[in-house]
Amino acid sequence: VQLQASGGGLVQAGGCWRLSCAASGRTFSSYVMGWFRQAPGKERDFVAAIITSWNAANTYYADSVKGRFTIARDNAKNTIFLQMNSLKPEDTAVYYCAAGPRASMIDSDFSYWGQGTQVTVSS
């Protein structure tokens, strides 16, 4: 699986923004897809992940973004999205999409990574 994240930019605090991650590979739908972020001088942190089965999609979020961010996937287009609302300056980071074989909030459990896209939230 190859991942290509896009959509980063500069946004004002309180605003909203959406990131996309396009995946290649015919087994896209079988992977757990996630978003992580890394702020300057900090470790990479879990943001959100989505698991899909034949009849449902389950999502889970870091406490810091719960209620503000939404992860979604379009298996037909091999793409995942991260809708970010009510953005705060502390959301400023490089955002990475990732794919892995099982549900996890740990970055080492994800096997494939996109290149990262910068999101900057100005106060």
| pLDDT at position 53 over 80 | no
- Calpha distance 109→100 (Å, rounded): 6
Range 112-120 average pLDDT: 96
Q: What DSSP state is assigned to residue 32?
A: E
pLDDT of residue 25: 78
| E strand map for the chain | 2-6, 9-12, 17-24, 32-38, 44-52, 57-61, 69-74, 79-84, 93-100, 112-113, 117-122
pLDDT of residue 29: 79
pLDDT of residue 28: 78
SS3 68: coil
| pLDDT at position 54 over 70 | no
Among residues of the chain, what percentage have pLDDT more than 70? 98
The residue with greater pLDDT, 3 or 75, is 3
Cα 19–chain centre separation:
8
Q: Which of 64-68, 73-77, 96-100 bottoms out in mean pLDDT, i.e. has the lowest?
A: 73-77
- Calpha distance 37→23 (Å, rounded): 18
- Calpha distance 102→56 (Å, rounded): 16
Confidence of residue 76 (pLDDT cuts 50, 70, 90): confident
Confidence of residue 26 (pLDDT cuts 50, 70, 90): low
- Calpha distance 67→7 (Å, rounded): 21
